[in-house]
Amino acid sequence: MSLPEHEPQQPQPYPQASGAYPPPPPYEPAAPMHAGPGTTIWPGNGDGGTPPGNPDSPRPRRARRSVGLIAAVAIAAAAVGGGTATLIERWTGNGTTASAPGVSGTNASRSTNGTVAGVAQAVSPSIVEISATSSSGESTGSGVIVTSGGEIVTNNHVVAGSDQVKVRTSDGKTYTASVVGTDPDKDLALIKVQGASGLKPASLGNSDNLRVGDQVVAIGSPEGLTGTVTSGIVSALNRDVTVAKEQGQGQGQGDTQGQGRGRGGWPFEFGGQQFNGDTGSSKTTYKAIQTDASLNPGNSGGALIDMNGNIIGINSAMYSPSSASASSSSAGSVGLGFAIPINTVKADLDSLRSGSGSGGGSGANS
């Protein structure tokens, strides 16, 4: 008995229940690449892991981890110097790109205020050297240009009794000057150079605003050293200083440079005592600014200047430890100098211009 021939039985797939398995992917999974022992790299398309052909699949959230890392760096930076918000904005792209904070400042090369060098550069063209010649010799002092036409303020004792006055400006030019008016009671004089124009006048400040301790600069021609600059502070105000009205009175000869003449400081009195020689019988007293800026014979008539470049006084007297009979090598400033307040000068200018100062106009006319 032969068995009927049956076709081979094909294996039947295991019945699938609906939803028992996920549907097969519509793409061929990429095979991993082995870069070396212990390292496996799964290829991607560079967009954060989105499977190719399946744009709806969720992307891994790498950005959140980056922001968290940046925030941690920013907080660490804030512990050193602040700026967390700036760092987060700059690196996460929130708003516009942040720029480094600006710093306000001043170009030092453009500013001359507040430094001795700046004051000297600005004011020196307005300070002159004065040489006054008389029958008894020659004296050297300083002066301050107050008008571009050549009006110059100086001390009366610099030009009193002179037969000829010469003025030398900071650029080396020499002019002949005439005495317009003098005021021996205030130890002031006004002279004017001949044939000059376009001179640089100084800026006259307000001496009423001075305070003890304010920084000042002095410019003059001590011992004929034109354009010498010294600096210091206002060490006292309203000193009653008594000086001789005319040059040559008493033992000291002030700013004299003549051969055989004494070179002690201009004689003055303070507190009932005489300094640098006898002031003689003809003398006057005024309120003075005291300064420790170095003043020496020849500074008389020069400028005492504030740190804004304004003239706040006319240097007029100085204390020297040497007597009139001592040699010039031992004479010198010890930090006690006096200046006539510029407000006194401004109040007297009109009288000096008219030649009707306390002492009237006198002196050289050549």
Catalytic sites, residue numbers: 157, 187, 300
Q: With contact defined as beta carbons under 8 Å apart, do 144 and 153 qualify? A: yes
Q: Which of 186, 128, 190, 195 is nearest to 159 (CA)?
A: 190
**What single string gives the DSSP state of each residue in 75-88?**
HHHHHHH--HHHHH
The distance from CA 74 to its chain's CA centroid, rounded to whole angstroms, is: 39
The enclosing H or E element of 337 equals: strand 337-341
The DSSP secondary-structure symbol of 197 reads: -
The DSSP secondary-structure symbol of 293 reads: S
Distance CA 212, CA 18 (A): 103
Residue 104 CB partners (closer than 8 Å, separation 6+): none
Q: With contact defined as beta carbons under 8 Å apart, do 201 and 146 qualify? A: yes
User: Which value, in Å, is the radius of gyration of the alpha carbons in the chain?
Assistant: 45
Q: Which amino acid is at 74?
A: A
Distance CA 320, CA 325 (A): 12
Q: Give the β-pairing of 215-220 and 228-244.
A: antiparallel
Counting beta carbons within 10 angstroms of the beta carbon of residue 340, is it exposed (0 to 12), middle (13 to 18) or buried (19 or more)? Answer: buried
